[in-house]
Amino acid sequence: MNKRINTDKQMLNKRTLCAITCVYEGGSIMWFERKAYDKLVDWKENYANEYAALLEGARRVGKSTIAETFAKNEYKSYIMLDFSEVADNIRNIFDDIGNLDLFFLRLQAETGITLYENESLIIFDEVQLFPKARQSIKHLVKDHRYHYIETGSLISIKKNVKDILIPSEEMKIQVHPMDYEEFCGAVGYNYSLLQRIYETGRAIGQATNRKLMRDFRLYMAVGGMPQAVEAYIREENFTGIDQVKRQIIALYEDDFRKLDPSGRISAMYHAIPAQLAKGTRKYRASSAIGKRNNTKSEDLLYELIDSKTVLPCYNSANPRVSLADTKDFDRYKLYLADTGLFITLMFIDRPAVENELYKKLLSDKLPANLGYLYENAVAQMITAIGRELYYHTWEKAGSTHYYEVDFLISNRNKISGFEVKSSGTGKHESIGAFAKKFSANIGALYVLSQKDVGTEGSLQKKPVYLTPFLLP
């Protein structure tokens, strides 16, 4: 395997590199590229004097490491306060934020780190665990002496914000699991080749397409959680990788139990693969947790969404008008935030997912229709560029069946539709019906599958690994 190992950090462009983890192999250090680093560079250059950067995302997506690597590369000194383990003497400093001169003196004394005006960064790691620190951001930013980064998960959960005034001096930066471009950079795949393939608009041949699809299925199997990617590069053993992903899922379950000891949020999370496999028109909370109080079920749903572990995809009742303005909050689907975790959750009833099963996935030989797995991968790619997820479903005339377009993307006043297939592209009745129904509003129509580039009238057929290049 092509391992991206660099022994000299100074040889790399520090503005595009973030150390997700340091893996010592013969004294070498492994570095992974993360796009959130570039967003922090932009924040520092243009907004840091007026806003703290808030890195928000699910647990274990790399927020803390991105923040600390940025601090090491871009500042003369930094202080990182991890509120999951910080001592009481540090917490006590925040009791009196009115005298900032004294606050900074105490902070330097307790940490042993010297701060330099306009050249130092203070990181509030896992800030949701200490709301008082988050509330202090308003005063700290207006002081203008130093810059501030907050990292947090479950950041919008009611109990984490109920007693504080949320500062308006925050610039949110969403951190997702590694997208396909970041994954390719980590494992040594040539992502720029995909750009060139897309630009030609032509078929590349079965052999090349099969190789590129196998590469993409590897991404689907490993996923974008940095620890899982690291395990793949280090071990090349899917059983070990699966164990890493199981530990992450267990961590999420612990968080869910803290939010809802009854276990209903966890049940809703675990039900996602099964509900997608059924091909239902919407996620049914009652199938996961039983018929309970609807208001309480909605609260649990929003807490699950706020955890950033899932991706909500809402039905647009009338795409002619607007996707956002016709969002149906009662009709939605749920995807997992990471395709690698999705696969592990599919087989969570087993003690471990064996190497053999992963090999069958990579070879596209699993005895099942995995269209919903490819849907999850596309949902993850759309979310990674900062777009909300929408789909559209409507009844077939004179039938109990229905049409459904898997994903919709708006671009100015036009709508692009995406239908996702796990194998061939022969049948695509829904997107054809969608083209007729909304002909005046259509921008582009795509069928995403494992097949090579092709066209059928105005319908564009693309291999699923080209999805990022199709998104406006």
pLDDT tens figures, 413-465: 899 999 999 876 667 899 999 999 999 999 999 999 999 999 998 899 999 99
Give which of 86, 115, 85 is closest to 103, Cα–Cα: 115
d(CA 106, CA 110): 6
pLDDT digit string, tens, across residues 11-47: 334 334 444 444 333 334 456 889 999 999 999 999 9
Q: Strand 414-420 relative to strand 407-411: parallel, antiparallel, unpaired?
A: antiparallel
pLDDT at 187 over 50: yes
d(CA 126, CA 119): 23
Give which of 254, 380, 221, 373 is closest to 310, Cα–Cα: 380
How deeply is 168 buried, as exposed, middle or buried, from its count of CB atoms within 10 A (0-12, 13-18, 19+)? exposed
pLDDT at 355 over 90: no
Q: What is the pLDDT of residue 451?
A: 95
d(CA 330, CA 332): 6
d(CA 19, CA 12): 12
What average pLDDT score do residues 62-87 get?
96
Query: What is the residue extent of each domain of the chain?
Result: 5-174, 180-470
How many C-beta atoms surround the C-beta of residue 105 within 10 A? Answer: 13
pLDDT at 7 over 70: no
pLDDT at 256 over 60: yes
Percent of the residues in the chain that have a pLDDT greater than 90, as a whole number: 73
How deeply is 471 buried, as exposed, middle or buried, from its count of CB atoms within 10 A (0-12, 13-18, 19+)? middle
Eight-state DSSP code of residue 28? B
For every residue of 398-433, DSSP letters joined together read TSS-EEEESEEEEETTEEEEEEE-SS--S--HHHHH
pLDDT digit string, tens, across residues 405-414: 999 999 888 9
Q: Which of 6-20, 35-49, 153-167, 247-261 has the lowest mean pLDDT?
A: 6-20
- CATH 3.40.50 applies to domain 5-174: yes
